[in-house]
Amino acid sequence: MSDQWGGRQGSETPMGAVPDLGRPEPASGWAAGPSAAATAPTEKVPIEEMPTAGARVGVYLEDLASDHPTPGGGAWAAVSAAAGAALVAMVARLTIKKKGYEGVVDRMRAISDECDDERYTLLALADRDAEAYRDVMAAYKLPKNSPEEQHTWSTTLQKSLERAADIPLEVARRSVYLMALAEETLTTGNPNAASDALSAATSLHAAALSALANVDINAITFLDKTRQQELSDSANSLRHRAQSLLRDVSEAFFIAVHA
């Protein structure tokens, strides 16, 4: 296993493009997986060249612990979700190798490949979250001395705040989707890796809640109250679904351990 974020790079097939986060899908679309916009292939940047993915764990945690505003909770939510995706992929691969599970090999291979792509995408979203926060800070500093400057300041700030809310919403959507995959690998996969599947689900649950907190704190300043309500409804739906999935996975783990 590589000591770089992301480990092995998995399939050479192109991943789905990180979706346009300007208008995310409603939260009810969690079951369909990542945003439907994530379909066009794009060239993958080598993972070691990505700011977050290319950092060693210790160095990244030093940055996280510093007095710099980025990376912060939103970026860490994406990293936590990427770790959850990696664990789901591991459980799937351990199932592929286990005798007696030949009937689910194709499904587990599909899950592991999908989780590899999700891990890459989530690490990219960690970088985008940090960039979005820096854009918000830059917008706040724009001059406001004239009516024209005030209009530019307000418009630029609102756009940057929307992006700063849309990115963690996408992280939360992906986290909740991956929780469902964690449950699937726990209930149909290698029982010896049940604790790893539960660990994946709890990491993804924490990632979803952390990401949604960042949605909330950015959305409260929106001038567009309709957009604000849309985000609030999406966030609440995702919270409920994440809690339900965590309960289901925990119960499945109990059953697997005591079977």
d(CA 64, CA 176): 24
Q: Which long-range contacts (CB under 8 A, 24 or more apart) does 141-149 make?
A: none
The average pLDDT across 68-82 equals: 92
pLDDT of residue 58: 84
Which has the higher per-residue pLDDT, 229 or 3? 229
Instruction: Report the chain's terminal Cα–Cα distance, integer Å.
Output: 32
The average pLDDT across 205-226 equals: 93
How would you classify residue 53: left for phi > 0, otherwise alpha for psi between -120 and 50, otherwise beta?
alpha
Residue 255 reports pLDDT greater than 60: yes
d(CA 230, CA 72): 24
Which has the higher per-residue pLDDT, 189 or 1? 189
Residue-averaged pLDDT of the chain: 83
Helix (H, G, I), strand (E, B) or coil at 16: strand
Q: Report residue 43's pLDDT band, with 50, 70 and 90 as the boundaries.
A: low
pLDDT of residue 51: 64
Residue carrying structure tokens 């990401």: 211
d(CA 230, CA 227): 5
| Beta carbons of 123 and 76 less than 8 angstroms apart | no
| Beta carbons of 47 and 54 less than 8 angstroms apart | yes
Residue 39 reports pLDDT greater than 60: no
Provide the whole-model pTM: 0.80
pLDDT for 141-154, tens place per residue? 999 999 999 999 99
Residue 25 reports pLDDT greater than 50: no
Share of the chain above pLDDT 70, in %: 80
Least confident of 1-5, 15-19, 52-56, 85-89: 1-5
pLDDT of residue 49: 67
The average pLDDT across 162-189 equals: 96
Which has the higher per-residue pLDDT, 11 or 247? 247
Residue 18 reports pLDDT greater than 80: no
